[in-house]
Amino acid sequence: MSYHSARDHVGDLVLDCDVVVVGSGASGAVVATELASAGLKVIIVEEGPNIPSAKLGQMRVSESIRHVWRDGAFTIAIPLGDTPAINVTMGRGVGGSSMLTGGVCFRIPDPVLDTWERELGLVEYTPKKMEEFHAHVEKAIHVEEVPKEMRSIGTNLFAEGAAKIGLTVESMRRNTKGCNGCGRCNFGCPHGAKMSVDVSYLPRAVEKGAQIFSHCLVDKIVMDGTRAVGVRGRLLNKRGGAPGDRLTVHARRVVIAAGAWHTPLVLERSGLGNREVLGKNLTLHPAFRMLARFDQEVRGWEGALQSAYSRTLEPEGITYTGLFVPVGVLGATMPGVGLELAQNAKKIGHLAMFGGLIHDLGGGTVHRGLGREPYVTYRMAARDRAVMPKLIRTMAEAFFAAGAREVFLPVLGMRGLDADALKQLRLEDLPGKRFECASQHPLGSAQMGSSPRRSVVDGDGRVWGTQGLYVVDGSVLPTSLGVNPQLSIMTVATRLAWRMPPISAS
């Protein structure tokens, strides 16, 4: 048996392997698969539960959130200064956040790689050298372009309006096979069509002998001098999934893939990582969504989720991507209470939606909290703060150009606006706390670099000053990307796995 749930285990658990991988999300699954395929004995330990994709796809939205969304999707980055509070969502289960994606796949943009190479000295990260890793992952997760016929009416309306105001909208690439456009991706694909790592990578790792232990929370890395020799933690086998018996994994290599929110904590609790940098430099891609009401029926939920995007405004730090959320969730986020809310909810069939994110400059810090979770602060950089109103206004203008009657801005307490009201609105004067902001892309909190003084890991993912200890997840990306990061994270993870030396020399 290769999938084990520590929830049902009684007593302490002691394991032994060549490589222990902490976290089974986008990066952990890739590294585990590559190393198992190279003949190593790999154990993956994951804090969350193992809910097979077929089962997740059948759950109600509320059930899916309860089981595999960290903190039931209520995680907040605490705002500092004139910054919105940011709701940061992440997966917590076998497959990590990869299970929850809309399937969007972007390569690491060339200008981002240029910055890494020129400004950070990461000379191995050129577009040419990354080509084989990008291509390898794209094949493994079946990245394909979404045909225009699968776009929702809402996406087509946005594209029509965007073209009128000078934005180019292009077809998205997604990791799907046999997608029928039912639009439920974020809560599990009921048709087994989304090639998230629990479907694409982990079964291959298991085929090559890897063992996956869910409900295992890692607290610390065990060191013998400067060499990593395993991890310690708890089985989440007490009542309600609370920490119970002890977990010990002896390993000749330790790979941390706990994501940008938790990797800094695991390192810090172990007394490892450059304190000047660890936990800092967190980027989030602060994101905003816009609803627009049309006279005609739109039925925005019909069509492949996130089927198109626009990067025309990337020089200003803005990327737009299509999206929609389930009707029940949408109803709960409409403005108004009581009768007014009911009237607004009746418009749902006529609503289109689009989203935009900021290619942010950083400003987040992961701090060790009192309990299990960190507390994270985020101070939006002045440039990013200035971009926010433009990002929002442009989306509204695109929808009005396509004939929308009314738009609902991501501004708390604000009712629907018509085109004239939008013109009158001084969005720039609103305080940051009024904006409704979300993030699904925490990155950069254990950044990679060429200098041990300014980074936590070297260009091969090894924690400076240690042997046998690697970080491979989104936390190593030294800057934000301006695009959704799963493919980028998996590409970097592939490179790191392929670069790892034989066990005895690592």
Ligand X SMILES: Cc1cc2nc3c(=O)[nH]c(=O)nc-3n(C[C@H](O)[C@H](O)[C@H](O)COP(=O)(O)OP(=O)(O)OC[C@H]3O[C@@H](n4cnc5c(N)ncnc54)[C@H](O)[C@@H]3O)c2cc1C
Binding site for ligand SF4 (CB under 6 A): 103, 176, 179-185, 189, 191, 193-194, 304-305
The residue (of 180 and 451) whose beta carbon lies closer to ligand SF4 is 180
Residue of 484, 491, 494, 506 interacting with ligand X (CB under 6 A)? 484
Q: Which does 20 bind (CB under 5 to 8 A by kind): ligand SF4, ligand X, none?
A: none
CB of 402 or CB of 487, closer to ligand X: 487
The option from ligand X, ligand SF4, none interacting with 474 (CB < 5 to 8 A, set by class) reads: ligand X
Phi first, then psi, for residue 429 (nearest 5°) are -90, -10
46 near ligand X, judged by CB under 6 A: yes
Binding segment (CB under 6 A) for ligand X, from list 49-57, 94-102, 352-360, 408-416: 94-102
- Minimum gap (Å) between residue 477 Cβ and ligand X: 9
State the binding partner of 284 from ligand SF4, ligand X, none, CB within 5 to 8 A by kind: none
Binding of ligand X at residue 24 (CB under 6 A)? Answer: yes
Sign of the Cα pseudo-torsion (378, 381, 409, 146, in order): negative
If one asks whether residue 323 binds ligand X (CB under 6 A), the answer comes out as no
Which amino acid does the sequence have at 244?
A: G
Using CA atoms, how far apart are residues 249 and 197, in angstroms rounded to an integer? 23
Give the residue, chosen from 79, 96, 109, 389, that forms a contact with ligand X under the rule CB under 6 A: 96
**Which residue lies nearer to ligand X by CB, 257 or 430?**
257
User: Residue 26 touches which of ligand X, ligand SF4, none (CB < 5 to 8 A by kind)?
Assistant: ligand X
391 binds, among ligand SF4, ligand X, none (CB under 5 to 8 A by kind): none
List the beta bridge partners of residue 417. 407
- Is residue 401 a contact point for ligand X (CB under 6 A)? no
Q: What is the DSSP string of 460-481?
A: TSBBTT-BSEEE-SGGG-SS--
Nearer to ligand SF4, 25 or 84 (CB): 25
- Establish if 181 lies at the interface with ligand X (CB under 6 A): no
- Report, in Å, the least distance between residue 176 CB and ligand SF4: 5
The CA-atom distances, in angstroms, between 81 and each of 85, 208, 365 are 10, 50, 14
Considering beta carbons, is residue 306 or 455 the nearer one to ligand SF4? 306
Sequence-distant (6+) residues with CB within 8 A of 62 are: 328
Q: Which does 183 bind (CB under 5 to 8 A by kind): ligand X, ligand SF4, none?
A: ligand SF4
Our CB check for ligand X shows the closer of 22 and 150 to be: 22
Least Å from the CB of residue 198 to ligand SF4: 13
CB 265 within 8 A of CB 31: no
- The alpha-helical segments, DSSP class H, found in 191-310 are 197-200, 202-207, 263-269
Listed in sequence order, the residues at least 6 apart from 366 whose beta carbon sits closer than 8 Å to its beta carbon are: 260, 261, 264, 265, 279, 282, 374, 376, 445
Q: Which is closer to ligand SF4, CB of 176 or CB of 447?
A: 176
Distance between first and last Cα of the chain? 29
Q: With CB cut-offs between 5 and 8 Å by kind, which of ligand SF4, ligand X, none does residue 189 bind?
A: ligand SF4
- Cβ closer to ligand X: 100 or 205? 100
Q: Cβ of 110: how many Cβ atoms within 10 Å?
A: 12
Instruction: List the helix and strand counts (H, then E) for the chain.
Output: 14, 21
DSSP code for 486? H
Question: Is 218 in contact with 233 (CB distance < 8 Å)?
Answer: yes
Alpha-carbon gap, residue 376 to 354, rounded angstroms: 27
Q: Does 304 engage in binding with ligand X (CB under 6 A)?
A: no
> Considering only CA atoms, which of 25, 103, 388, 78 is closest in space to residue 33?
25
Q: Catalytic pick from 134, 350, 359, 441?
A: 441
User: Which of 88, 8, 13 shows the shortest CA–CA distance to 43?
Assistant: 13
Instruction: Give bridge partners of residue 364 from the DSSP assignment.
Output: 282, 378
Catalytic (active site) residue 441 = yes
- How many angstroms separate the Cα of 478 from the Cα of each of 28, 107, 260, 323? 18, 16, 11, 27
Residue 41's binding partner out of ligand X, ligand SF4, none, with CB under 5 to 8 Å set by partner kind: none
**Using CB atoms, what's the residue nearest to ligand X?**
25
Q: In angstroms, what is the minimal distance from the CB of 492 to ligand X? A: 10
Q: Rounded to whole angstroms, how far apart are CA atoms 129 and 122?
A: 11
Residues of this chain that interact with ligand X (CB under 6 A) are: 22-28, 45-48, 89-93, 96-98, 100-104, 186, 217-218, 257-259, 262, 266, 306, 440-441, 473-474, 484-487, 489
Residues designated as active site: 441
